[in-house]
Amino acid sequence: LIYLALVTPLLHDFYNYNFEKPEFIPVFSEFVQ
């Protein structure tokens, strides 16, 4: 949970930057798990 809280701001910028890239979604899913 703490890890998620620390990474959330970074992922927010990363997600906004890669929002239009379809391949980003599977990578994000694997990264979370």
Q: What is the pTM of this model?
A: 0.26
- Tens of pLDDT, residue by residue over 1-33, are 677 766 777 766 666 655 555 565 666 666 666
Q: Which residues touch 24 (CB under 8 Å, ≥6 apart)?
A: 15, 18
Q: Per-residue DSSP letters for 8-26?
A: HHHHHHHHHHTTT-TTHHH
CA-based nearest residue to 24, from 33, 15, 32: 15
